[in-house]
Amino acid sequence: MSHFGRLHISAIGSRMGAMESRDLVGYWSVRELAEASGLTERRVRQLLRDGRELRGINKGRVWLVRDVDARAWLDARKAAERDR
């Protein structure tokens, strides 16, 4: 399952310059992670900048998170919520 719809690919691809749209398959955007986690986009960006809980690739103003890292982070959040 790809987490980048065609609109996201073209919008992000245009901001990333040399990176080809086909290179974005397998990555999650900040918006997608925010929606999946229930956090705000701002909070997801904070976590990415901090780099301890969530890691990603920063290209200018755009953050991308590998699918494997995004899923692991989301799973860890769900597990932590269950343990509360």
The residue ranges of every structural domain in the chain are 6-83
Mean pLDDT to the nearest integer, 34-62: 97
Fold of 6-83: Multidrug-efflux Transporter Regulator; Chain: A; Domain 2 (1.10.1660)
- Position 35 scores a pLDDT of 98
- Position 68 scores a pLDDT of 97
Whether 52 shows a pLDDT value over 70: the answer reads yes
- Whole-number Å distance between alpha carbons of 20 and 82: 39
- Position 25 scores a pLDDT of 83
Three-class SS state of 61: coil
Mean pLDDT computed over every residue of the chain: 83
4-40, pLDDT tens digit by residue? 543 354 455 555 554 545 466 899 999 999 999 999 9
pTM attached to this predicted model? 0.72
